[in-house]
Structure 1
Amino acid sequence: MPYAICRVAKIKTAQAGAAKTAHNYRQRETPNADTERKPMNHEYVNTAERNYWELATERIQEAGAKVRHDSVRGVEVLLTASPEAFKRQDDGTAHDWHGSKWAEANIAFLKDKFGEQNVVSCTLHQDELTPHFHAVVVPLTADGRLSAKDVFNPKTLRALQTEYAEAMKPFGMERGVEHSRAKHEVMRHVYGAQERSRGELATLTKPEPATRLSIEGPSGLDLVNLSKWRAEQEARLNAELARQLAAANERASKAASIAQDSAGAKDREKTLARQLASVEGTKTKEIGRRESFEGGFKRAAVLAVQGETLPANVLEYGQKIRSSMQTEAEKHVQQALKAPIRQAGDLTEQLKKLPGYTYREDAATKQGELRHTATGSRFELAELKPGGVPMKEAYDQAVQRTAQRDQEQSKGQSRGRGGMSMGD
């Protein structure tokens, strides 16, 4: 049965937050990710792909929690399962799990466990071998304190593993061994451990030369009391034998311990080798799939140049991609409208920052247009409906919200000045 996997990592600095943001949203090169499958990645919360550190800081301020200079503002939670949990297509790639019951269960688990407002980002990655979630959680306690120690400690982490496995039971997954010391290792560490083990075993199992034990003959004085002399000699021989036996037992114990560790390393090597073989098999199938796709692309390109009608399946595929990208664009615009918007220029600045998109305005009509850089999908702002609301209406609502916030802040500042003592 496949295992449910849950890992956590603290985000301690703004630099770490920026690095994780760039990695999870593929804003920099990711060697183990397939660029062609990047459109299958999906962000459920932070659709504008904003910086994690900024999101966490905003949530902390919203909660009114105190922040120390060394406070952990965010914790990245990884949720996935062992590779065999995910069914593969004929080409070896995983199916699209976006919108699946498994994806919905993961999102529900995060929100129930940590509080919906404290989950500031939740990304499904499907451009790697195994689908997985990266979520960023602000460690706020039930009484509103910022405390990673209270939310994430050995006791709560064990409970987290158990609860997550329980939530994944409907999908045929189970919990790993509790209190297990198994670690996530890379192949070179396993090989290094084995080489060190071989060297130590060779030394410990090297035959030791036998130590000759001898008894000196009794002296004239010893002849007076032979029983005493015999007891002394036996005691000396027994002491030497005991010393040699203790040394042999110690060497045997060390050898057994190293052999056990080496066996564990060999098991891990076999597991990693199987995973590597799976990756290589998937890679081979993926290369074949790409070559087939490139052949179809070339034919479609030639037909387009010659002015001929493209095949129906090509047009259908293009429409499907554009429709999917429009949904994504609307979510990004909806997130951008949450920023302070006082005039059209403010929205323009937000749209220019959207990762994976370029924004331009037609010089004659002044109509704005978003272009998805990876697929070339273009959308006029007027055709977008962020949150299911026509663009003009969504913009007016954003301006109104910003005006209300400005007014509330102004009132708060006025009350603060009014309550100030002249003696302060």
Structure 2
Amino acid sequence: MTEYAILRVKKLKSEVAILGSLRHTFREQPTPNADPDLLASNTLYGAQSTAEAMNEFRRRLPEKVRKNAVLALEYLITASPEAMQGKNRVEQDAYLSDSLKWLKEKHGAENVFFGAVHRDELTPHLAVYVMPKDDVGKLNCRKFLGEQGALRQMQTDFADRVGKQHGLRRGIEGSKARHQTVSRFYSTIQNSASETAPKALLGYVRKEALEEVKNALEAFLVREKAIKHREQVLDRKISEANALIAEAKQAKDELREERQTRYGAEMALDNYKQKFESLVAEYKVMDQARMDAIEEMRHYRDLISKNNRPQL
């Protein structure tokens, strides 16, 4: 039986791409290959919704980000279907748990902002989202995947440190097998002779069925192109929104400083008013004392004047 450890990684270069991937992971959009009755069997790490996971992502994002930077890495870890299905639940969980620990050691636990174990699909697997920061806290995907052969070395290291402990081995290194994109598959059909394309790609099928496949793929590619265009528009809108948010934050900070200055001036004015009122009260007391003294002097003067009058 083939028992391979499987590790794949995908670069996510925009918030739109991260958002779309998270919605799939959280099953917040239709997922035809997932059984809705098994949704409760999935396990979530770090967030309970796309919104929470995006908050965790943004909280870890550096203040300065290059325009072409890879914002996140999406890892998918599983094993060949027959090997994964041959393990019981405890063995599956142990393998996926060790895989998560390996990723945290590789990238730093603080850079892993979300993870999920999906058991609602035929083959259980682990999806992990990582912010590719280097030792100085900058986004640096090149450190992890930039060098030639880095991905092959990472798969070897994963198989040696995690896979072997669970009876799994590395896939065939240097294999010519590749994942074929829809666009490449469609191009192959279009460029193949009609009489050989069915045999080469789809086996022996009717020409009418091949035409239906071509039409379906063509419609899919048109839709894919439209989606990419919308993603570009959304990226631009997000950039504009971020710029407006930054301006609003600056205006808010300036308004806060102005309010603090005004509050300080109002406090000083109240203090001066209290001092002035205190001085006025003191002046009134002194003025009353002066008036009392004048009155008393008049009284004594009248007495003296009366005593100095000649007696008749």
Matches within 5 A, 1:23-422: 23-47=24-48, 49-61=50-62, 66-87=64-85, 95-96=88-89, 100-153=93-146, 154-166=148-160, 167-185=162-180
Shift of 1:44: 2.2
- Partner residue in 2 for 1:324: none
Instruction: Structure 1: give runs of 5+ residues left out of the alignment.
Output: 89-93, 203-258, 268-409, 418-424
Whole-Å separation in 2 of the counterparts to 1:183 and 1:99 = 26
Deviation readout 1:317-342 (Å, 9 max, x if unpaired): xxxxxxxxxxxxxxxxxxxxxxxxxx
Whole-Å separation in 2 of the counterparts to 1:98 and 1:30 = 26
Deviation readout 1:10-37 (Å, 9 max, x if unpaired): 1211211211111101111111100011
For 1:86, give the aligned amino acid.
Answer: M
Whole-Å separation in 1 of the counterparts to 2:168 and 2:189 = 31
Shift of 1:81: 1.1
Give the direction of change, closer, same or farther, for the CA distance of 1:186–1:68 in structure 2 (3 Å limit).
closer
For 2:16, give the aligned amino acid.
Answer: Q
Whole-Å separation in 2 of the counterparts to 1:57 and 1:80 = 28
Q: 2:116 touches 2:128 (CA, 8 Å); kept in 1?
A: yes
Give the direction of change, closer, same or farther, for the CA distance of 1:70–1:191 in structure 2 (3 Å limit).
closer
Instruction: Report SS of the residue matched to 1:7.
Output: strand
Give the direction of change, closer, same or farther, for the CA distance of 1:84–1:192 in structure 2 (3 Å limit).
farther
- Partner residue in 1 for 2:245: none
Instruction: Report SS of the residue matched to 2:61.
Output: helix
Whole-Å separation in 2 of the counterparts to 1:96 and 1:141 = 35
Shift of 1:48: 5.2
Instruction: Structure 2: give runs of 5+ residues left out of the alignment.
Output: 204-252, 261-312
Q: 2:4 touches 2:80 (CA, 8 Å); kept in 1?
A: yes
Shift of 1:119: 0.8
- Partner residue in 1 for 2:227: none
Q: 2:73 touches 2:132 (CA, 8 Å); kept in 1?
A: yes
Shift of 1:50: 3.6
Q: TM-score, normalised by structure 2?
A: 0.55
Shift of 1:174: 1.3
Whole-Å separation in 1 of the counterparts to 2:50 and 2:182 = 33
Deviation readout 1:288-334 (Å, 9 max, x if unpaired): xxxxxxxxxxxxxxxxxxxxxxxxxxxxxxxxxxxxxxxxxxxxxxx
Whole-Å separation in 2 of the counterparts to 1:16 and 1:39 = 25
Q: 2:96 touches 2:125 (CA, 8 Å); kept in 1?
A: no
Instruction: Report SS of the residue matched to 2:76.
Output: strand
Larger fraction in helix: 2
For 2:134, give the aligned amino acid.
Answer: T
Whole-Å separation in 2 of the counterparts to 1:15 and 1:132 = 23
- Partner residue in 2 for 1:376: none
| Larger radius of gyration between Structure 1 and Structure 2 | 2
RMSD after superposition: 3.7
Q: 1:121 touches 1:135 (CA, 8 Å); kept in 2?
A: yes
For 2:153, give the aligned amino acid.
Answer: A
Give the direction of change, closer, same or farther, for the CA distance of 1:175–1:266 in structure 2 (3 Å limit).
farther
Shift of 1:201: 7.3
Q: How many positions carry a matched residue from both structures?
A: 203
Deviation readout 1:185-204 (Å, 9 max, x if unpaired): 489977985896676979xx
Q: 1:139 touches 1:146 (CA, 8 Å); kept in 2?
A: yes
Instruction: Report SS of the residue matched to 1:145.
Output: coil
Whole-Å separation in 2 of the counterparts to 1:71 and 1:194 = 35
Where relative contact order (Cα < 8 A, 6+ residues apart) is larger, the structure is: 2
Give the direction of change, closer, same or farther, for the CA distance of 1:36–1:107 in structure 2 (3 Å limit).
same
Give the direction of change, closer, same or farther, for the CA distance of 1:125–1:145 in structure 2 (3 Å limit).
same
After superposing on structure 2, the runs of 4+ consecutive aligned residues of structure 1 that deviate more than 6 Å are 186-192, 194-202
Give the direction of change, closer, same or farther, for the CA distance of 1:164–1:35 in structure 2 (3 Å limit).
same
Q: TM-score, normalised by structure 1?
A: 0.42
Shift of 1:181: 3.2
Identical amino acids, percent of aligned pairs: 32
Whole-Å separation in 2 of the counterparts to 1:201 and 1:34 = 38
Whole-Å separation in 2 of the counterparts to 1:96 and 1:115 = 27
For 1:46, give the aligned amino acid.
Answer: A
